[in-house]
Structure 1
């Protein structure tokens, strides 16, 4: 791992950390270095990840695949950059994206809890940990809302939203927290247009629904 010290120190996560501090720090927080060949799936959609990654060599891309199998590249992550931190910090939140390598890639994985186990936490330090987890959760929710609103067709907005709910609720039968007007407001569409679209989707056997109970078919 020593050959990657310069790469690690360039990462924003290690800002203000000195090189002479790094060996003892890494020994304490126990990251795991893994190597992946090119075009390998590191994380699959729906997985729960206990750690986040720092790219030491190579490159990965964050991708989203819709129900039709079409893939969208959301981001590329290069050397010294980290990924998956929001998912790792929220612990039980399953991935709504996948991570693939582009080239042969070496990734250093960190478990968030190890960053806080060096000494017993004071009450003030626990507040900081809690705040980081809140930030991570809100970041995920914001990213999901952007993903939903970026869809051009109302049907695609609905499907994207229901698929995200499916991952969260781990069921095809979903209970959503909105009535029809609230759902329209959440998706950024007119209520009448939403109702028409939902009827068309049900006739096409894409979904079935009754009030705020939905099932993906």
Structure 2
């Protein structure tokens, strides 16, 4: 099951499927199940493995000592996390990783593929694929900065929803966040976010129900 899943994953692009089981074994791969709300990694932890979400979804959060939460990203099936820290094992995590729902994760000790004398001929291809994935994630973080750059709540909402509509290619779409998670992601107060969404709906800019949105063209 895991081999089939990873055969279609960008990390194993241009790697024969028959070579995947050996690679997974050499990289000490293992699967782990998490219940919704479970913490996979705490801020300050040192990790040896990157994670690939096989099912469910997880949130990457930046939580301060006062309990304020900022969701940096929602990681869905096929996406990876903690890959940077797994490549630099002496760097402590600056984020907390939490299961947004019941999830299954594949842990991969990707650092073993960085050894000077790789023991598998496909490791260089694996690392090239990883670099591509990391570049894409950097773009995602840049988008979040763009979404939160507006000084107004409405500006942040419009930036995020406009991007989602463009990404999904339609005016009606679902977002991966509930209301609190969206507020955390946009770095705004939940009540203020709800009030602004209500105003925007009354003004005819959009309609919504839970995480389903429809943007109206004016």
Normalized against structure 1, the TM-score is what? Answer: 0.52
Structure 2 CA distance for aligned equivalents of residues 90 and 116 of structure 1: 10
Instruction: Determine which of 102, 105, 119 is the counterpart of 1:104.
Output: 102
2:71 partner SS: strand
Give 1:91 shift. Answer: 1.2
Between structure 1 and structure 2, the one with the greater Rg is 1
Deviations 1:50-94 (A, max 9, x none): 111011111111011133312111101111111001111111111
| Map of 1:26 onto structure 2 | 24
2:17 corresponds to 1:43: no
Structure 2 CA distance for aligned equivalents of residues 85 and 77 of structure 1: 13
Structure 1 CA distance for aligned equivalents of residues 13 and 119 of structure 2: 23
Give 1:120 shift. Answer: 6.0
What runs of 5+ residues in structure 1 fail to find an aligned partner?
Answer: 153-217
| Map of 1:87 onto structure 2 | 85
Structure 1 CA distance for aligned equivalents of residues 7 and 119 of structure 2: 26
Kindly tell me: are residues 30 and 5 of structure 1, through their superposed partners in 2, closer, same or farther at Cα, counting changes over 3 Å?
same
Give 1:25 shift. Answer: 2.0
Structure 1 CA distance for aligned equivalents of residues 56 and 108 of structure 2: 18
2:90 partner SS: coil
Structure 1 CA distance for aligned equivalents of residues 66 and 25 of structure 2: 45
Instruction: Determine which of 67, 71, 74 is the counterpart of 2:72.
Output: 74
Give 1:116 shift. Answer: 4.0
RMSD (Å), alpha carbons: 3.2
Structure 2 CA distance for aligned equivalents of residues 99 and 4 of structure 1: 22
Normalized against structure 2, the TM-score is what? Answer: 0.52
2:69 corresponds to 1:54: no
Structure 2 CA distance for aligned equivalents of residues 90 and 114 of structure 1: 11
